[in-house]
Chains A and B, each alone.
Chain A
Amino acid sequence: MTDATQNSARALDLRTRVEARLKARNASERRFRLYGRVAIIVALSFLAVLVGRIAVQGWTTFIDTQVTVQVYLKPERIDAADPSLANYDLLVAESVLASVGEQDDDYGEASGKVMDIMSNDLGFQLLRQVKADPSLIGKTVTVTGPLKADAALYFKGAISRSTDEADRKLNDRQLNWLDKLDKAGAVKRGFNWQFFTRSDSTEPEQAGVLGAVVGSAMMLLITAMLAIPIGVLAATYLEEFAPKNAWTDMIEVNINNLAAVPSIVYGLLGLAVFINGLGVPRSSPLVGGLVLALMALPTVIIATRSALKAVPPSIREAALGVGASRTQTVFHHVLPLAMPGVMTGAILSLAHALGETAPLLMIGMVSFVPGVPDGFTGAATVLPVQVFIWENASERAFHERTAGAILVLLAFMVIMNLAAIIVRRRFERRW
């Protein structure tokens, strides 16, 4: 009886003590949850601001303003024997002037102003048509091509009449022409497919990302083909076969250090070893891929080793227990089980390599390449470097392209990360 009362008294006492502290305990949990939510909101809002800003700046890149002009190919101005000598831009300008009811003056000032709003792509198109079919000379031909970037910016609202005439690229006369052309239905807006089908150009309205996208893809192919097999096999050897001694410890420390080496150092290494030492052509996807493979290698090795470490030892014992050799154990059982981790690590390190700029500047990839790379040893540029080049350009229209190219780069990365997730899901198995 006394025991029971004592026990219940003790229980009551314990209860009051626990309850007294319970409030503080719950409060600390609530506080921690709040911190967590705030941290996530801050991180997401930074991301939203970043992507939002780029999207706002860059989305107009994907709108294309095309102008259609009827050009009379004056026979006295084109030499049928060598049509490339004629000034087609002037013919275009004169036709545009005619369509807005004006004429060129003696000094060619009006036509010069027209050339500032019409892309020289129209002239090139005429040249190509005449070359292909000289009988066009003396006839009227319809050509459709982009407006010059500044004129396109006017239609996108980036240049407005309210700005003082002296402070803007286009004067009132040019804007009037553009308005007339637009009213006449000669200006069409559409999706800018050309941004994806053309490479870099000195003219912003003709510049596209195709060359950079293909360059990036070729370079990543080299990187993947070198870094993944070498990295995975090196990690497998170190983790599963190499003896654990001072040497392998040192190698492990060095690999971890290499992963932290600033990327530009890899650029210097590539310049010294691959270009100056081995004579690999500079600014080619090959040399870029080699440098990025060196850079990605430590990451792939580290990811592979941790994936191998995560494979339960029971699987190794199971395989060894039925008499598999060490190589069979590793390649039949351990490595396949580590594959999701290996592939995730590999794809993420490739995504990292895709966004790398600094080392590529060192090996001469920061050059004007107006086309798709001519093979793995041809001159090439890649997306992040293209962004860098355009951002440094003085023309305002290039800055719009910069944001557009960043969006393409981000899309590329999102696709790679999605691939990483899908691959991981695919390979994931229970054990």
Chain B
Amino acid sequence: MPSQRDDAAAQGPKIKIRARDVNVFYGEKQALFDVSLDVPERSVTALIGPSGCGKSTFLRCINRMNDTIPGAVVKGRIEIDGEDVNDKALDPVVLRARVGMVFQKPNPFPKTIFENVAYGPRIHGIASSKKDLAEIVERSLKRAGLWAEVADRLHQPGTGLSGGQQQRLVIARAIAVSPEVILMDEPCSALDPIATARIEELIDELRHQYSIVIVTHSMAQAARVSQKTAFFHMGKLVEAGATDEIFTNPKDSRTQDYITGRFG
């Protein structure tokens, strides 16, 4: 099993997330068909494909965000370190503490910058004291590359930051809980090129500590930030492999058409 072709190219040899035969239904409509994918540890895996291809749906299976959508049914098995995320005994709260998420549109809470980052540690009881909490906030903001910009205004609303800063604040909020996996759903689609570049740099730094799965519309971005790429089409996983491989030598003609811009 770990002898799959793409694993050699991935940064870490270990598989963090193992998805097998994942099928997702939204009511009558089937959104994912038998998706099986391995996500290697401490590296960036990009999910690409045209709109409505199921890449976001797959992403949301990993931290069970699909639970919140009425009528959504997830079948199949997704493991994180061998543990089934859909296990009835596993509370989604525990899962989401391990699997952080960054959304398409920056969505800071309408609270202060400090409160935004402190919220996760606070509800999970991670900080032992006020001082500890302040340290976690500082560390998370530093790691998200935002500390220098907000250190003097921690108690101003997070919604007052620019779009790119908000997105880094949201990343800091996710990091503050010390997750193992960070899911990013088109994190740069609402940002300008400079802010995008800043986030991409950040992702590249974060991959040394976290396993990152990123959904992106930009093939250039996938090529820049990821080590592994999975191409989705019409709810099916068409092809997955090392990013260099996928972009230079795709096996499937649909992948080739997509990355050369013939559709999508």
B108 and A317 contact, CB distance less than 8 A: no
Number of interface residues, chain A, beta carbon within 8 A = 22
A260 beta carbon closer than 8 Å to chain B: no
**Which one, A244, A321, A332, A333, contacts B101 given CB within 8 A?**
A321
B65 and A321 contact, CB distance less than 8 A: yes
CB distance from A315 to the nearest CB of B (A): 6
B105 and A430 contact, CB distance less than 8 A: no
A328 beta carbon closer than 8 Å to chain B: yes
Report chain A residues within 8 Å CB of B250: none
Most buried by B among A243, A315, A319, A320: A320
Give A298-340 as 1s and 0s: 1 = Cβ < 8 Å from B's Cβ atoms.
0000000000000010111111111111001000110001000
Number of interface residues, chain B, beta carbon within 8 A = 30
**Which one, B110, B123, B177, contacts A430 given CB within 8 A?**
B110
A318 and B107 contact, CB distance less than 8 A: yes
Kindly state the separation between the CA atoms of A325 and B91 in the bound complex, as whole angstroms: 9
Report chain A residues within 8 Å CB of B97: 322-323
B247 beta carbon closer than 8 Å to chain A: no
Kindly state the separation between the CA atoms of A317 and B110 in the bound complex, as whole angstroms: 14
Kindly state the separation between the CA atoms of A332 and B97 in the bound complex, as whole angstroms: 17
B68 beta carbon closer than 8 Å to chain A: yes
A107 beta carbon closer than 8 Å to chain B: no
User: What residue in chain B is nearest A312 (Cβ atoms)?
Assistant: B107
Report chain A residues within 8 Å CB of B102: 321
Kindly state the separation between the CA atoms of A431 and B166 in the bound complex, as whole angstroms: 11
Report chain A residues within 8 Å CB of B173: 318, 322
A321 and B109 contact, CB distance less than 8 A: no
B110 and A323 contact, CB distance less than 8 A: no
**Given known contacts A337-B110, A430-B159, A321 and B93 CB-to-CB distance under 8 angstroms:** no
CB distance from A226 to the nearest CB of B (A): 30
Within 8 A of A (CB), among B84-107: 92-97, 100-103, 105, 107
Kindly state the separation between the CA atoms of A322 and B174 in the bound complex, as whole angstroms: 6
B120 beta carbon closer than 8 Å to chain A: yes
A139 beta carbon closer than 8 Å to chain B: no
Kindly state the separation between the CA atoms of A333 and B109 in the bound complex, as whole angstroms: 8
CB distance from A244 to the nearest CB of B (A): 6
**Which one, A319, A323, A332, contacts B124 given CB within 8 A?**
A323
A426 beta carbon closer than 8 Å to chain B: no
Give A412-431 as 1s and 0s: 1 = Cβ < 8 Å from B's Cβ atoms.
00000000000000000111
Kindly state the separation between the CA atoms of A316 and B65 in the bound complex, as whole angstroms: 11
Kindly state the separation between the CA atoms of A328 and B92 in the bound complex, as whole angstroms: 13
Give B57-101 as 1s and 0s: 1 = Cβ < 8 Å from A's Cβ atoms.
000000101001010000000000000000000001111110011
B119 beta carbon closer than 8 Å to chain A: yes
Give A239-258 as 1s and 0s: 1 = Cβ < 8 Å from B's Cβ atoms.
00001100000000000000
Kindly state the separation between the CA atoms of A325 and B70 in the bound complex, as whole angstroms: 17
Kindly state the separation between the CA atoms of A430 and B159 in the bound complex, as whole angstroms: 7
Kindly state the separation between the CA atoms of A75 and B258 in the bound complex, as whole angstroms: 115
Report chain A residues within 8 Å CB of B94: 323
B109 and A318 contact, CB distance less than 8 A: yes
User: What residue in chain B is nearest A328 (Cβ atoms)?
Assistant: B123
A322 and B100 contact, CB distance less than 8 A: yes
CB distance from B170 to the nearest CB of A (A): 7
CB distance from A299 to the nearest CB of B (A): 27
Kindly state the separation between the CA atoms of A230 and B139 in the bound complex, as whole angstroms: 43
A317 and B177 contact, CB distance less than 8 A: no
CB distance from B161 to the nearest CB of A (A): 12
**Which one, B63, B96, B103, B177, contacts A314 given CB within 8 A?**
B103
**Which one, B107, B119, B174, contacts A317 given CB within 8 A?**
B107
**Given known contacts A244-B70, A430-B159, A431-B159, A320 and B96 CB-to-CB distance under 8 angstroms:** yes
Report chain B residues within 8 Å CB of A332: 119, 123
CB distance from A237 to the nearest CB of B (A): 16
B177 and A323 contact, CB distance less than 8 A: yes
Give A364-393 as 1s and 0s: 1 = Cβ < 8 Å from B's Cβ atoms.
000000000000000000000000000000
Most buried by B among A314, A319, A323, A333: A323
Kindly state the separation between the CA atoms of A337 and B63 in the bound complex, as whole angstroms: 25
Report chain B residues within 8 Å CB of A333: 109
Report chain A residues within 8 Å CB of B159: 429-431
CB distance from B214 to the nearest CB of A (A): 15
**Given known contacts A317-B103, A318-B103, A323 and B109 CB-to-CB distance under 8 angstroms:** no
Kindly state the separation between the CA atoms of A324 and B65 in the bound complex, as whole angstroms: 12
CB distance from B174 to the nearest CB of A (A): 7
A314 and B107 contact, CB distance less than 8 A: yes
User: What residue in chain B is nearest A245 (Cβ atoms)?
Assistant: B70
Most buried by B among A319, A322, A431: A322
23 A-B pairs with C-beta separation under 8 A = A243-B70, A244-B70, A314-B103, A315-B107, A315-B110, A316-B68, A317-B101, A317-B103, A317-B107, A318-B108, A318-B109, A318-B173, A320-B68, A320-B96, A321-B63, A321-B65, A321-B101, A322-B96, A322-B97, A322-B100, A322-B119, A325-B93, A332-B119
A322-B96, A324-B123, A430-B157 known; 13 new pairs, CB 8 Å cut-off, are A243-B70, A314-B107, A315-B109, A317-B65, A317-B103, A318-B109, A321-B96, A322-B100, A322-B120, A323-B96, A323-B97, A323-B123, A323-B177
Q: Interface on A for B, CB 8 Å cutoff?
A: 243-244, 312, 314-325, 328, 332-333, 337, 429-431
Closest 9 CB pairs of A and B: A321-B101, A314-B107, A323-B96, A322-B120, A323-B97, A318-B107, A429-B110, A431-B110, A323-B93
